[in-house]
Structure 1
Amino acid sequence: MKAGLLMYRVLVADNYPIIRMAVKNLVEQLDNFKVIAEEATGIDASLRAEQGDIDIIIMDLAMPPGENGLITIKRIHEYFPNTKIIIFSSRSEPQYINQAIYNGANGYIFKSSLPKELFHALKHAINGEKYLDNNIMVTKKDLLVIKGGSSHFDLGNYVALSKREQEILPLIVLGYTNKEIATKMFISPKTVEAHKTKIMQKLNLASHADLLHYAVKHRLVDL
């Protein structure tokens, strides 16, 4: 790093280690960016962001099995608005790109693009600007979605859940035990059980099967 430059701390989240390594190597070609953390799931990226030392998150939109990346973006943006989010994904469908930006992402880059696209996204992000991959064509309809005119995702009563309940929900769906969730969240199994009870009550659900159906219906998880 050159003397006098501000160092931006980066978290890379992707379920493939080789992708995380490649992104880290690219990011650190820039003088004032340093990858200080790597995670393999959206939930773990969200939990890592809670430590308050991440300036930019570069994450895939789909890291199955786990939480839908669009949900992760929304929660991180809501609770950590100063943390910039750049999506680095193979998904090119307009509805996913639009919703990612609408939910709070600062940039969207295709994995098939040249490295310069990621560099552009990083530089725009630190200046508080949005950046879309040069290969993305934005229509007037897309702009309406991005600006909040409509949404492709109906979350139902999910929005009534607390931040912690939102983080625990996909882990329950994926079959994690109370002890495993407690270890990941640094809370007690008893607290996990209390959160599970509240989740079921708020969503008006009676069983794990009901919760799985709800999560799939509202696209809260990628299985």
Structure 2
Amino acid sequence: MSLLKVLVADDHAIVRSGLSFLINQQANFEVVAEAANGNEAFLKIEQYDIDLIILDLNMPPGESGLITTQRIHERYPDVGIIILSMHEEQAYIDQAIKNGAAAYILKSSSDAELLTALKTVARHKSYIDQNIILTKTDIEKINTPDLDVDLKGYTDLSNREKEILPLIALGYANKEIAAKLYISTKTVEAHKASINRKLGFKNRVDLVHYALHHGLIDF
């Protein structure tokens, strides 16, 4: 097996450091980048030609990890997504898998569980934490469209607009968004106008309500 590039995404620096140390001790794996939020993770996947990502679902303030998972899977389907989360609720687990996660590991589990997931996903197979039991009903939910959040209009947004929307909702200024995404402020303004047009928003308040209602951001 050739060396696989790993991205660790978690909002706590000490967690990223610990995960990086653990993974770098394993043969054929190297952590080449870290990210503190979903947007940063999304940008670094292409920048570092990432093979595998270990992603926390909750990295406030920022985009919901479930949405980040979906965006990464849609844009980079060959990247193996391993969710490492404190969320043990079945709804989170089902939705993460449905959105494209190849593995789901609980933060309360042992290092061995994470390493097993890492090596399994590297072989292009799925893995669920042994402490999680997927019932037949869960599998049916994952394989049907009924679990999808009702995101009317969201699917019409471009990839860049999906990146910008949560940043607007979180109150970032145009210059700050431009700096984060390495684009011009004029480009940000154009995308904001397009988002408002596609979703029928009249102001930022409408956008914030939409983002909160549909779980697009975490505080």
> Taking structure 2 as the reference length, what is the TM-score of the superposition?
0.97
Relative to structure 2, which stretch is displaced further, 140-149 or 212-221?
140-149
Query: Which residue is 1:62 aligned to?
Result: 58
In structure 2, relative to structure 1, the CA distance for the partners of 1:78 and 1:152 (3 Å cut) is: closer
Matching residue within 206, 209, 212 for 2:202: 206
Question: How big is the shift at 1:149?
Answer: 4.7
Aligned-pair Cα RMSD in Å: 1.0
Relative to structure 2, which stretch is displaced further, 143-152 or 53-62?
143-152
Q: How does 1:39-50 map to 2 (within 5 A)?
A: 39-50=35-46
Query: Which residue is 1:177 aligned to?
Result: 173
- Give the partner amino acid of 1:47: L
Matching residue within 71, 75, 87 for 2:71: 75
- Give the partner amino acid of 1:87: I
Question: How big is the shift at 1:39?
Answer: 0.5
User: What SS does the corresponding residue of 1:9 show, helix, strand or coil?
Assistant: strand
Question: How big is the shift at 1:51?
Answer: 2.2
Alpha-carbon distance between aligned partners in 2 of 1:137 and 1:12, rounded to the nearest angstrom? 25
Query: Which residue is 2:31 aligned to?
Result: 35
**Given the alignment of the two structures, is residue 23 of structure 1 paired with residue 19 of structure 2, yes or no?**
yes
User: What SS does the corresponding residue of 2:6 show, helix, strand or coil?
Assistant: strand
Question: How big is the shift at 1:50?
Answer: 2.4
Alpha-carbon distance between aligned partners in 2 of 1:207 and 1:114, rounded to the nearest angstrom? 46
Question: How big is the shift at 1:152?
Answer: 4.8
Matching residue within 85, 88, 92 for 2:88: 92
Unaligned runs of 5+ in 2: none
Q: How does 1:115-194 map to 2 (within 5 A)?
A: 115-194=111-190
- Give the partner amino acid of 2:168: I
- Give the partner amino acid of 2:18: A
Alpha-carbon distance between aligned partners in 2 of 1:51 and 1:115, rounded to the nearest angstrom? 28
Relative to structure 2, which stretch is displaced further, 170-179 or 149-158?
149-158
Q: Check whether the contact 1:144–1:150 (CA below 8 A) recurs between aligned residues.
A: no
* 1:125-177 CA distance string (max 9 Å, x none): 01111101010011111101222352152222111100000000010011111
- Give the partner amino acid of 1:175: G
Unaligned runs of 5+ in 1: none
Alpha-carbon distance between aligned partners in 2 of 1:23 and 1:111, rounded to the nearest angstrom? 11
Matching residue within 189, 192, 198 for 1:196: 192
Question: How big is the shift at 1:222?
Answer: 0.7
Question: How big is the shift at 1:25?
Answer: 1.3
% identity of equivalent residues: 52
* 1:60-117 CA distance string (max 9 Å, x none): 0010110011110111001101111000010011011011001100100011101110
User: What SS does the corresponding residue of 1:61 show, helix, strand or coil?
Assistant: coil
The alignment covers a number of residue pairs equal to 219
Q: Check whether the contact 2:33–2:48 (CA below 8 A) recurs between aligned residues.
A: no
